[in-house]
Structure 1
Amino acid sequence: MATEKDERMSTEKIDVAIDTSETVSPSAIQARFETLRDLDDEQMAALNKRLLRRIDWRLMPTITIMFLMNYLDRINVSNARLAGLQEDLNMSDTVWSAGISTFYVGYLIGQLPGNLWLAKVRPSLLLPGMMIGWSICTICMPAATSGVGFCLVRFVTGLCEAPFFPGITLMTSSWYTKAENPMRMAVWHAGNTISNIISGFLAAGILHHMGGIAGLYSWQWFFIIEGAASILVGIVAFFLLPDWPENTRWLTQEEREIAQYRVLLSNGGKEEQVGGTWDGLKEAVKDPFTWMFCGMHFSLINAQSFKDFFPSIIKTFGFSELNTYLVQAPPYAIAYACACALAWSSGKFRESCYHIVVPIVISAAGTAIMISTPNIGARYFGAVLLVSGTYNGLNLQLSWETTLVPAPRSKKAALIAIANCVSQCSHWFSPYFFPTAHEPFYRLGGGLILFGCLCTVLLCFGVKWWAKRLNKKLDAAEGYSEHSGVERGWRFAY
């Protein structure tokens, strides 16, 4: 058991926030690493600071920009639709929705095997390779001449993108501690919100001005330029991304060991690398947390079902084509600021449930405003509330699930992939909730969003209840009570 001295030493030695007692003492964990055994508190603090700075400056900017391009690739068809993609390929609303859904069929197929594979190989090779693959598909989109071609390209694009999102979630949780994780996930999750901002400006610049150049439609230029930029980012990422804490080549042995020490301490002494691929999958399937987070992620994606149609929704506000592209940016900029603030608060106070529930309730209020009033100012304000709450919720849910199931890495990889797989099933049906016949209020889609918000709230309280129940069992097993004098070991955070 950790002593009071060990706990105090852990928070002073390095800025690694852990629950106020871990089952393995910091000194015992430090003794496992050859290069760390003889370091004093000051040396450990300096080494930790140097390691964290190196990882922050290489991992965070790289995966943020990669995720930006990834999400931009996912939503580019929404703005291309406004520029005539659907009409130029002679697609009905049904065929268009089928194309949106087909992307997620490929995405679903590649999720679980991709993330299980990633847990065993070098992320610095697999993730950039996948990025170049989906970028090539994006460049091929201008060659589509029918709805069938559109659906086919979107399917292969989804297949290539599948391992990326769960992959960077797994990487972040494998490098950062419980207190650092929410804020770091908010940082790279900025790629999500920033891509929506950039998409509007790109659409204003490319879709509004480049039609007819070299005999191409403006939406064709949109895909070509974006795909080429993504390939360039993928090539650079080969040289910048780390692998895992134990095998990143551009770290010294001492830095690799402090990286493992930090996360091991945060995990309560649980080894990340223990467990085979199929063992991890079986453990994840048997864990109730897996299915609770599957439901929560699924509900949050339902609550975000508006994102593929956000430009079309904004168009109903009566703005000009150029202004429709531009006014999409402020809601996402506000959403990012809120996400960072709430992620910081969640990490500081080690609380996840209410940090998700409160913003989701606000999103539900925003949705109710959007579907109930014709007032443009009120509807735009509702859009700001909707975007801010749902994007914050998804960011913190990812951090929460990797905190509650910190190790082994194969189990965590399986949990992330399974939850993401289940959540993406929403995209098979959600596009059909936003037909153009339901303009301007899209009340059917609004109902789906509200349903997602409600289920998210219920599942948050369900996860919290289950975590508290498990903690009570651990208390009983250790003989811990407020007056027992027994030190409390590692516990599930909620």
Structure 2
Amino acid sequence: MLSQRVRDYLHTEYQPGEATLIRKIDFFILTFCCLSYFINYLDRSNLANAYVSGMREDLGFVGNQLNVINTCFTVGYVLGQIPSNLSLYYVKPRIWFPSMMLLWGGLTMVTASVHSPQSIMAIRFFQGIFEASTFVGTHYILGAWYTERELGKRSGIFTASGLAGSMIGGFIQTGIHSSLNGRSGLAGWRWLFIIDGLLTIPVAAYGFFFFPDTPRNTSAFYLTEDEKRLAVIRVPVVEEHSPITLRFLKKVLTSWYWWGFVMLWVIAGETESFSSNSLLALYLKSHPTHKYTVSQLNNYPTGVPAVGIVSTLFWATLTDFLNGKRYLVGYWIGIVGIATSIMILVASQHPTSSQSTTVVMAAYYIAGSVYACQATFFAWCNDSMRHEEHVFRAVVLAGMNLGNNAVNAWWSIIFYGASEAPWFNRGMWAMIACSIALAIWTVILQYTDRRNKKMRDIEGVNGSLSIVVEGKE
């Protein structure tokens, strides 16, 4: 039985020309989106890498200024979410995405010239606004091109590319610090920002010329007219309305999609706090007994996104195989969040023990597996809203990231401030609470989603029967 399901999953029946179409959009969509997100995450992780590689001392950081910088980025990121996704209704994605990329890439290079933490705060705020286009914008595009059976793996590959940026960022900083530190009078961490910014230019140019936009407005030269028509009929056709109306606003704010999925990501996003706040790097930097080298401070935390990549691809593929049961990830993350928090709380009782260090590092590595929720939960939203207006889906996807980052703007300061290193005890208890809340909310949303699908199926059957009756009359 299981072997037959595996064979069915691996062998898909396509319409004539559909396999060729998928190969083309896989190549041109995923290459640009993955490269863009890779550099995007490289840019985000470089701040923590620079911080432990001399920036803290060179700029005279004090207290929780690193967390304040992250909050400034988050505020800009929140403000940019919905406007950015709404812009995709009016501006072609192949114009919008590369333009935003060049803007945040330029600001990354400007960071190399700063002389105070306050300057970085201002720069990161505007970077957050421009970088808001990348994550939820891509999930909107993936939902527009791919079917429910195809979506999970593509979402997983996309999300894994960002984690690869986090993982490789540490090795890049190590290489830059050893080879360029002091070159032309610039510290190694300043060269990191320059090089990261330059990487955006060729990727943005590639997107401008080759990104296919959406099925309904694509003008990609590599797609035939038959392939363009096939791309449209592969996904449900829905009537579109302008989003700048009171009707649309009311539809969003009274919809269970909005409140259900936004709250899901508000909670789930905070279960990534161990990784997103670079707690392992801060733990090593403030270790109670051992002083780590710059290379170790940059390289050891790379295991966290490595675990995240494996977990993301595993769960994205598994939930596709299980016909879209994305909710299973919510229960897995709940278990992991509770277990790893308890491990660190216990280790904090014996801070000078070598076993304590082993337990803490193992906990942070295991906690990297919660990154699986990024791909699967946004794919879950795309699956559920497949029959809704595309712009409505775009706003809900943006709202998910908006809600989470609005909370994260202050959550990280309260529970994961740099001054709380190395143990972050308040953060451990906050993680346990979030993990329990996520499991409960997953149950609620799973029930609501299943009920909605049954109602839609019943309406579809009734609609078909009414057409048959009218035809007989």
TM-score between both structures, scaled by the size of structure 2: 0.87
Structure 2 residue aligned with 1:445: 427
- How far off is 1:227 after superposition? 0.5
Structure 2 residue aligned with 1:274: 240
Contact 2:284 2:422 in 1 (8 A): no
Per-residue CA deviation, residues 127-152 of structure 1 (Å, 9 max, x unaligned), is 01100000000000122222221111
Question: Are 1:358 and 2:332 matched, yes or no?
Answer: yes
Question: In the alignment, which of 230, 233, 241 is matched to residue 261 of structure 1?
Answer: 233
Structure 2 portions without partners, runs of 5+: 1-7, 466-473
Contact 2:63 2:419 in 1 (8 A): no
Aligned partner of 1:97: which letter?
Answer: N
Question: Are 1:349 and 2:322 matched, yes or no?
Answer: yes
Contact 1:289 1:463 in 2 (8 A): no
Structure 2 residue aligned with 1:132: 102
Aligned partner of 1:294: which letter?
Answer: V
Question: In the alignment, which of 262, 277, 284 is matched to residue 308 of structure 1?
Answer: 277
Deviates more, 1:453-462 or 1:63-72: 453-462
SS in 2 for 1:93: coil
Say if 1:337 and 1:214 are closer, same or farther in 2 by CA, change over 3 A: same
Contact 1:303 1:448 in 2 (8 A): no
Contact 1:111 1:417 in 2 (8 A): yes
* In 2: Cα distance, 1:378 partner to 1:190 partner: 26
Contact 2:152 2:375 in 1 (8 A): yes
Query: What pairs up with 1:288-299 in 2 under 5 angstroms?
Result: 288-299=256-267
* In 2: Cα distance, 1:75 partner to 1:282 partner: 38
SS in 2 for 1:179: helix
* In 2: Cα distance, 1:308 partner to 1:240 partner: 35
Deviates more, 1:186-195 or 1:367-376: 367-376
Question: Are 1:418 and 2:387 matched, yes or no?
Answer: no
Deviates more, 1:84-93 or 1:467-476: 467-476
Query: What pairs up with 1:165-180 in 2 under 5 angstroms?
Result: 165-180=135-150
Question: In the alignment, which of 81, 84, 98 is matched to residue 54 of structure 2?
Answer: 84
Contact 2:160 2:308 in 1 (8 A): no
- How far off is 1:468 after superposition? 3.0
Question: Are 1:96 and 2:69 matched, yes or no?
Answer: no
Contact 1:372 1:441 in 2 (8 A): no
Structure 1 residue aligned with 2:366: 385
- How far off is 1:472 after superposition? 5.0
Say if 1:431 and 1:467 are closer, same or farther in 2 by CA, change over 3 A: closer
* In 2: Cα distance, 1:228 partner to 1:295 partner: 37
Question: In the alignment, which of 62, 69, 76 is matched to residue 32 of structure 2?
Answer: 62
Aligned partner of 1:361: which letter?
Answer: I
Say if 1:365 and 1:115 are closer, same or farther in 2 by CA, change over 3 A: same
Structure 2 residue aligned with 1:327: 300
Structure 1 residue aligned with 2:3: none
Aligned partner of 2:254: which letter?
Answer: K
Question: In the alignment, which of 125, 144, 147 is matched to residue 155 of structure 1?
Answer: 125
Question: In the alignment, which of 437, 440, 459 is matched to residue 458 of structure 1?
Answer: 440
* In 2: Cα distance, 1:127 partner to 1:477 partner: 38
Q: Count residues with an aligned counterpart.
A: 437
- How far off is 1:122 after superposition? 0.9
TM-score between both structures, scaled by the size of structure 1: 0.83
Per-residue CA deviation, residues 16-67 of structure 1 (Å, 9 max, x unaligned), is 7xxxxxxxxxxxxxxxxxxxxxxxxxxx623100100000111112101100
Aligned partner of 2:309: which letter?
Answer: Y
Aligned partner of 1:327: which letter?
Answer: Y
Structure 1 residue aligned with 2:385: 405
Structure 1 residue aligned with 2:471: none
* In 2: Cα distance, 1:418 partner to 1:316 partner: 36
Contact 2:282 2:422 in 1 (8 A): no
- How far off is 1:469 after superposition? 3.1
Contact 2:152 2:316 in 1 (8 A): yes
* In 2: Cα distance, 1:219 partner to 1:116 partner: 36
Say if 1:222 and 1:476 are closer, same or farther in 2 by CA, change over 3 A: closer
Contact 1:301 1:452 in 2 (8 A): no
* In 2: Cα distance, 1:471 partner to 1:235 partner: 41
Per-residue CA deviation, residues 310-351 of structure 1 (Å, 9 max, x unaligned), is 321344564432122222223322221221121111112121
Structure 1 residue aligned with 2:181: 211
Structure 2 residue aligned with 1:34: none
* In 1: Cα distance, 2:232 partner to 2:313 partner: 26
Say if 1:66 and 1:478 are closer, same or farther in 2 by CA, change over 3 A: closer
Contact 2:181 2:187 in 1 (8 A): yes
- How far off is 1:372 after superposition? 2.0
Contact 2:40 2:131 in 1 (8 A): yes
Deviates more, 1:244-253 or 1:428-437: 428-437
| Aligned-residue CA RMSD (Å) | 2.4
* In 1: Cα distance, 2:174 partner to 2:104 partner: 24
Contact 2:155 2:375 in 1 (8 A): yes
Per-residue CA deviation, residues 234-293 of structure 1 (Å, 9 max, x unaligned), is 1222122110112221222211111111112xxxxx42x522223544422221121121
Q: Which has the higher helix share?
A: 2
Aligned partner of 1:353: which letter?
Answer: Y
SS in 1 for 2:310: helix
* In 2: Cα distance, 1:331 partner to 1:437 partner: 22
Contact 1:294 1:418 in 2 (8 A): yes
Aligned partner of 2:450: which letter?
Answer: K
Structure 2 residue aligned with 1:468: 450
Aligned partner of 2:278: which letter?
Answer: F
* In 2: Cα distance, 1:217 partner to 1:161 partner: 26
Contact 2:182 2:188 in 1 (8 A): yes
